[in-house]
Amino acid sequence: MKRNYVKKAIALATISIMMFSLAACGGSADTGSARASSTADAAASGATVVKYSVTFGASGTQADGANALAELISQESEGRLEMQFYPSSQLGDKAATMEGLQNSTIEMTECAATDLSAYDDIWSVFSLPYLWENGDQAVQVVQDEAVKSVLDASAEANGFKIIAWTNIGSRSFLNKSRKVNSPADLKGLKIRCMEDKVLADATNAMGAIGTPMAASDVYTGLQQGTLDGLDHTPSVIVSNGWEEICKYYSLTEHFTIPDPVFVSLSWFNTLSEEDQNALVSAGQKFTEKWNNEIWPKATEEGMKAMKGAGVEITEVDKTAFKEACEPVVDEFIAGASGGQKNLYDLLVKTAENY
């Protein structure tokens, strides 16, 4: 009896905390009630909750992927694991979320591979422009056993266990000012980039003014003139509504950065072997579903939506953009650590097989 009372008390406390958190983040009453009900149901059923904390929004391609992942986790674990989706940085930004994984207060997240450079400098290699032919090649290379073993070891040394890899395509320039055919056309344009020195340097080398900024601030930045544009892929652009403001998209495809999905290693180690296997299996199936079904369809639909919104899409000769970036790559390699050089050589060599 006492144990049941404690469980009920914990469930009620969790509901209160969730409703307060959603209200603070602008969540609707219906969403808050649904989240609280889900938490209570998980507590009552004895399912292990897997909190999935991400920066992307509650709708769009990446949210569709999150829902597919939740379903796979439930299926593979036969209901013993229940993923709960926390979009739009509800549980904190990337840094706070990763700290939560290290402390086992958050179970799962995803991010650009470059974000892991905060923990091990080898991940900065993924920032290099024109490292891959396309996103398909990138996700195949990172799953190659020789590469996978290096990346898994780095992630686990820092408290993370990678369970999936997702193709997020190749970023191209979107702006609200003018058509971009060559690096010269980027001159003076303030282009948002992720908070990474190599990404900013490469953006600058191509002629723009690299402006690090959180993705959540981009729409306002475009409205207020803090930004003239950004670089991303069609489906992500449409998911965020950036095509409403920016009407020029140039297919430079300069950065190709796959996203790992990973869990807290310390939390993972508390699971039974059966649940560990179920989570890994769900991750593998999600990798296949995302890369072969969800992402290709989303990219096609994103391009159609951009055209429908009046965005002018320009095919460019990438040669000039690649040449502009070469000094950035050369400088990176010249100053690279041993680990960075080894990973760079391994990625380049392995890419020849794909």
Q: Are 245 and 162 a contacting pair, CB within 8 Å?
A: no
Per DSSP, the three-state class of 335 is coil
Range of lowest pLDDT (142-146, 162-166, 207-211, 215-219): 215-219
Residues 38, 93: one domain? yes
What is the count of structural domains for the chain? Answer: 2
- Which pTM does this prediction carry? 0.84
| The two structure tokens encoding residue 40 | 């209570």
pLDDT level of residue 114 (50, 70, 90 thresholds): very high
pLDDT value of position 346: 98
Residue 122 CA: distances (Å) to CA of 110, 130, 144, 232:
18, 17, 17, 23
**83 Cα distance to chain centroid:** 17
The residues, ordered by sequence, that sit 6+ positions from 168 with a Cβ below 8 Å of its Cβ are 112, 135, 233, 236, 257, 258, 259, 295
Phi, psi of 110 (to 5 degrees): -140, 155
Instruction: Convert the pLDDT of each residue in 89-100 to its tens digit.
Output: 999 999 999 999
Say if 140 falls within a structural domain.
no
pLDDT of residue 81: 98
Instruction: Dump pLDDT digits (tens) for 295-349.
Output: 999 999 999 999 999 999 999 999 999 999 999 999 999 999 999 999 999 999 9
Residue 142 CB neighbour total at 10 angstroms: 20
The rounded distance, in Å, linking the Cα atoms of 138 and 256 is 7
Rg (CA), the chain: 21
Query: pLDDT tens digit string along 260-286?
Result: 999 999 999 999 999 999 999 999 999
Q: Quick one: 50 and 151 in the same domain?
A: yes
Report the distance separating Cα 11 and Cα 47, nearest Å: 12
Please indicate, yes or no, if residue 351 is contained in any of the structural domains. Answer: no
The H-or-E segment that residue 263 falls in is: strand 259-264
Q: Which range is least confidently modeled, 18-32, 137-151, 249-263?
A: 18-32
Question: For all residues of the chain together, what is the average pLDDT?
Answer: 90
Residue 20 has pLDDT above 50, yes or no: no
The model's pLDDT over 38-63, given as tens digits with 9 standing for 90+, comes to: 555 655 668 999 999 999 989 999 99
C-alpha distances in angstroms, 80 versus 50, 198, 240, 284, 305? Answer: 10, 42, 34, 18, 39
> Which pLDDT score is estimated for 40?
53
Whether 165 and 142 have beta carbons less than 8 Å apart is answered as yes
CATH value at residue 76: 3.40.190.170
Percent over 90 (pLDDT), the chain: 84
Cα 170 from Cα 203, distance rounded (Å)? 14
Q: Is residue 240 part of a domain?
A: yes
Label residue 11 by pLDDT band (50, 70, 90): very low
Residue 141 lies in a domain: no
Q: Residue 194: its pLDDT value, please?
A: 86
Structural domain includes residue 89: yes
Q: What is the pLDDT of residue 285?
A: 98
Work out the pLDDT band at 125, boundaries 50, 70, 90: very high
Q: How many CB atoms lie within 10 A of CB 157?
A: 11
The string of pLDDT tens digits covering residues 184-197 is 999 999 999 988 89
Let me know whether 326 and 198 are in one domain. Answer: yes
Percentage of the residues of the chain whose pLDDT score is greater than 70 = 87
Q: Which domain holds residue 64?
A: 2-117+146-168+259-300
Confidence class for position 215, pLDDT limits 50, 70, 90: confident
What is the residue-wise DSSP string for 190-240?
EEEE-S-HHHHHHHHHTTSEEEE--GGGHHHHHHHTS-SEEEE-HHHHHHH
| Residues in CB range of 111: below 8 A, 6 or more apart | 55, 94, 98, 259, 260
How large is the angle between the packed helices 135-143 and 145-157, nearest 10 degrees?
Answer: 80
User: Is the model's pLDDT at 4 over the cut of 90?
Assistant: no
Instruction: Let me know if residue 22 belongs to a domain.
Output: yes
- Is 290 found in the same domain as 324? no
Instruction: Say whether pLDDT at 13 is over 80.
Output: no
> Does the residue 127 lie in any domain?
no
Note whether 78 and 225 are same-domain residues: no
Instruction: Examine the domain organization and report whether 23 and 74 are in the same domain.
Output: yes
